[in-house]
């Protein structure tokens, strides 16, 4: 652990004057300038790892900002490309992302069949290898361009999750990374009859209890579980089930382990992180659906430290708070008690989904620093004092 702090540049959605100069676009340019892409060399292949959404899940990073970042990479002489899982790349056009609109190619992270991978040694919790997306693995520089939002399993999804789940092939994502969390679940199969297991499954208002009668196997789907503890009422006389912190914690530790492997592919001076806190939805972009926005828009942050940027993002979201009237009705146990020391994402997804856990593990793994200096660019206070540039009124179409 280091005593130094890392810089996190922040551009607020709030502006001090009506004028383009005070709005988010110029703030993104300023942040990119401060991040200093000059360590990207001419000819470098620059992976811009995004989550491009899925089906009608369009609430991702607006293509306008993606273009700005792509243009900045072009200026270095590097060759940017956007990458994500194959399906999200193939149907990205439905959400406005194409080579023409973004300004660079969109390439599936693990090839056209999701099979172009590199075996990456992890030796974590009995899992020897993860299969990293070969396209990401081959790049010379990384821009981890993330949409900050809620996430069912970890409470929050941002820069760490973008690499940890999005940097690998589907089999690693679903058959290796997600199941590690289940190792920590406690269910006593001998104490539990099939009838009782079915009662437990029925008792959960979130369909989080999955019971396979043939195998007599029960798991808690951590993505769905809000730790309401109602199933434990049903289990009171049997006592075969636990809802424990460890399985939620283990998932976030796995995210940090997986993201670290991706980061280590890149020299320190060729890693950049940008998080957009716009359209902050309760669940991840991969659900493929429009969702209500549950936190007011905050803006954008950029850093060269993945741990610092994630911590700052979570702090800024905490400061913004929840838009209570936008919380979907299927969250039946939202904790809105102001005296409860909970992050907004814990209030909706449950107290055990502390979204800071992944950053704590990431810091322990040497990936960065949770201490940060927030440097605001073009703050509303600053732009209030700036005389806006004279704008010409368009008298006829200019075509540019």
Residues that bind ligand SF4 (CB under 6 A): 203-204, 206, 208-209, 220, 225-231, 243
Q: How far is the CB of 224 from ligand SF4 (least distance, A)?
A: 7
Angstrom distance (rounded) from CA 50 to CA 146: 6
Which residues, at least 6 apart from 105, have a Cβ–Cβ distance to it below 8 Å?
81, 82, 99
Task: Report in angstroms how near the CB of residue 220 gets to ligand SF4 at its nearest.
Answer: 5
Query: In whole angstroms, how close is the CB of 157 to ligand SF4 at the nearest point?
Result: 20
Q: Can you spell out the DSSP letters for 261-327? A: HHHTTS-GGGEEEEEEESSB-SS-GGG-S-----B---EEEEES-HHHHHHHHHHHHHHH---GGGS
Nearer to ligand SF4, 232 or 365 (CB): 232
* Integer Cα distance of 60 and 281 in angstroms: 10
Cβ closest to ligand SF4, residue 46 vs residue 209: 209
SS3 (DSSP) at 204: coil
Closer residue to ligand SF4 (CB): 251 or 372: 251
CB 283 to ligand SF4: min, Å:
15
Which of 181, 208 has the CB closer to ligand SF4? Answer: 208
Residue number with CB closer to ligand SF4 (199 or 315) = 199
Nearest distance from C-beta of residue 228 to ligand SF4, angstroms: 4
DSSP 38-63: GGSPTT-EEEEE----BTTB--S--H
46 or 225: CB nearest ligand SF4: 225
Nearer to ligand SF4, 106 or 357 (CB): 357
Q: Is 101 helix (H, G, I), strand (E, B) or coil?
A: helix
Smallest distance from ligand SF4 to CB 226, Å: 5
Nearer to ligand SF4, 55 or 203 (CB): 203
Backbone conformation region of residue 126, classed left if phi is above 0, alpha if psi is from -120 to 50, else beta: left
Phi (first) and psi of residue 283, to 5 degrees: -115, 170
In the complex, minimum distance from the CB of residue 206 to ligand SF4, in angstroms, rounded to a whole number: 4
Structure tokens belonging to residue 338: 């102001």
Count the Cβ atoms, other than its own, within 10 Å of residue 98. Answer: 13
Please state the closest distance from residue 208 (CB atom) to ligand SF4, in A: 4
Helix (H) or strand (E) holding 79: strand 79-84
Closest CA to 295 of 336, 324, 269, 330: 324
Q: Detail the DSSP E strand segments found in 188-249.
A: 209-212, 217-220, 241-242
Contact 303, 312 (CB under 8 A): yes
Smallest gap from residue 284 Cβ to ligand SF4 (A): 18
Phi, psi angles (nearest 5°) of residue 275 = -115, 130
Question: Nearer Cβ to ligand SF4, position 211 or 266?
Answer: 211
Q: In this complex, which beta carbon is closest to ligand SF4, that of residue 91 or of residue 210?
A: 210
The C-alpha atoms of residue 333 and residue 347 are separated, in whole angstroms, by: 8
User: 228 or 327, CB closer to ligand SF4?
Assistant: 228
- Tokens of residue 358, six digits: 């992944």
Could you tell me the smallest distance in angstroms from the CB atom of residue 350 to ligand SF4? 8
Cα distance between residue 374 and residue 298, in whole Å: 14
The pair of structure tokens assigned to 339 is 């005296």
Q: How far is the CB of 358 from ligand SF4 (least distance, A)?
A: 21
Among 126, 346, 367, 162, smallest CA distance to 248 is for 346
């Amino acid at each position: 652990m280091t005593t130094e702090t890392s810089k996190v540049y922040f551009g607020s959605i709030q502006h001090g004057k009506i004028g383009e100069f005070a709005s988010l676009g110029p703030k993104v340019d300023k942040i990119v300038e401060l991040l200093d892409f000059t360590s990207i060399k001419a000819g470098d292949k620059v992976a811009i790892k995004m989550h491009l959404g899925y089906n009608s899940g369009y609430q991702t990073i607006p293509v306008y900002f993606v273009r700005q970042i792509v243009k900045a990479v072009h200026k270095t002489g590097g060759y940017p490309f956007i990458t994500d899982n194959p399906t999200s790349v193939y149907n990205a056009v439905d959400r406005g992302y194409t080579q023409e609109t973004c300004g660079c190619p969109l390439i599936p992270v693990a090839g056209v069949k999701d099979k172009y991978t590199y075996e990456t040694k992890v030796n974590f919790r009995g899992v020897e290898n993860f299969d990293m997306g070969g396209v990401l693995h081959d790049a010379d520089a990384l821009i981890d361009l993330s949409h900050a939002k809620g996430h069912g399993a970890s409470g929050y999804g941002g820069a760490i999750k973008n690499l940890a789940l999005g940097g690998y092939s589907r089999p690693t994502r679903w058959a290796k990374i997600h199941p590690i969390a289940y190792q920590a679940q406690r269910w006593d199969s001998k104490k539990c009859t099939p009838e009782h297991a079915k009662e437990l499954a029925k008792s959960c208002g979130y369909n989080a209890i999955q019971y396979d009668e043939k195998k007599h196997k029960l798991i808690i789907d951590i993505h769905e579980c809000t730790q309401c503890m109602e199933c434990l009422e049903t289990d009171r006389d049997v006592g075969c089930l636990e809802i424990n912190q460890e399985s939620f914690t283990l998932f976030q530790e796995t995210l940090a382990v997986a993201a670290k492997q991706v980061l280590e592919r890149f020299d320190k001076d060729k890693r950049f992180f940008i998080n957009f806190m716009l359209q902050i939805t309760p669940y991840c972009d991969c659900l493929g659906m429009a969702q209500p926005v549950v936190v007011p828009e905050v803006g954008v942050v950029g850093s060269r430290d993945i741990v610092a940027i994630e911590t700052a993002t979570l702090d800024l979201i905490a400061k913004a708070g929840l838009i209570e009237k936008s919380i979907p009705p299927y969250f039946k146990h939202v904790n809105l008690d102001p005296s409860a020391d909970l992050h907004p994402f814990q209030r909706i997804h449950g107290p055990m989904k502390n979204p800071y856990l992944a950053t704590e593990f990431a810091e322990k793994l040497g990936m960065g620093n949770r201490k940060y200096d927030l440097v605001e660019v073009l703050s509303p206070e600053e732009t209030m004092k700036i005389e806006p540039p004279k704008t010409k009124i368009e008298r006829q179409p200019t075509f540019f």
